[in-house]
Amino acid sequence: MKNYHWILLFTLTVSVLACKADKKEDTSEENVEVVQEENSTEIIGNEISYQASDSIMLNGYISRNTATSGKRPGIIVVHEWWGHDEFARQKADELAEMGYVALAVDMYGNGKQAEHPEEAMAFSSNVMKNFDTAKKRFMAAMETLKADENVDAEKISAIGFCFGGSVALSMANSGADLDGVAVFHSGLGLPVMPNEDLKAKLLIQNGAEDMMITDEQEKTFKSQLDAINADYEYIAYEGVMHSFTNKDADSLGEKFDLPLAYDKEITEKSWEKMTLFFKDLYSE
């Protein structure tokens, strides 16, 4: 039986309206650390702080591969509703291994992380109930990534997980200058739905058994993409539930009575699909 309490709360998190862009302010970097070294490949991650116009300090993490020379595409990584955590940083490192410069962003401010779904709901709702704030924070991250000396500022994309997928899709729908957006187990009841402002190519990978998404939401989302002839692919993996990329999904689901489940096979398959998506997008 579905846990409708959490399903309703999750849906409400990403169902508010508003949209306005703004510019980023000063940025700074600190705490450099080497995350991985294998043969001649060295993945270096930097903790980085930046601000949007709401003056909240945003604590991100930027990762690059020193074995790759020249300017390269930058990819924004947007975290789950738990906040900017090790999972988001790991995905940034994996993108760096592929030759991109990846920035795991902080949508909550001050690096806040939730320890309980109610706390996660409060954090995510505080951002998404005011899309103007969300977009300012996202655009501040985008400008920070563009300013990196290793990044080709004309080649920026985004990925997102759960809440982060909803954020990334909403930003693309609001006209953010993104080449591509690839999301995993993303919500579809967005504060900004697909419209003529959408420029990005989309890859949406969800579980067919994801109880956080209603059939009506999926139908509406696809129909609005089709109405504007959007360049997108929507994949619903049979038998797969919400949060399928997160190795902690099973324990979190059991602990908080949430319909979550990790799926190793689909995690690998969906990541490979995303890999080909960006390879095709940025092929010379």
E-only strand ranges, 4-71: 27-38, 41-51, 57-65
- Above 50 in pLDDT, residue 98? yes
Q: Encoding tokens for residue 87? A: 């999972």
Answer whether 131's CB lies under 8 Å from 18's CB: yes
Helices (H), 148-259: 163-173, 215-227, 249-256
Q: 62-76, 85-99, 124-138: which range is least confident on average?
A: 124-138
Give the residue-averaged pLDDT of 213-233.
Answer: 97
pTM: 0.87
Confidence class for position 284, pLDDT limits 50, 70, 90: low
Q: What is the pLDDT of residues 147-190, one digit of tens each?
A: 999 999 999 999 999 999 999 999 999 999 999 999 999 999 99
Task: Tell me the pairing of strands 180-184 and 201-207.
Answer: parallel
Q: Encoding tokens for residue 282? A: 């940025």
Q: At what angle do helices 163-173 and 131-147 cross, to 10 degrees?
A: 90
Listed in sequence order, the residues at least 6 apart from 269 whose beta carbon sits closer than 8 Å to its beta carbon are 237
Q: Which residue has the higher pLDDT, 279 or 25?
A: 279
Give the residue-averaged pLDDT of 45-68.
Answer: 92
- Above 60 in pLDDT, residue 67? yes
Bridge partners of 72, per DSSP, are 151
Tell me the pLDDT of the chain averaged across its residues: 88
Q: What is the pLDDT of residues 101-158, one digit of tens each?
A: 999 999 999 999 999 999 999 999 888 888 998 999 999 999 999 999 999 999 999 9
Secondary element (H or E) of residue 156? strand 151-161
Model pLDDT, residue 12: 46
What's the DSSP call for residue 213?
S
Position 220, amino acid: T
Q: At what angle do helices 117-128 and 4-13 cross, to 10 degrees?
A: 30
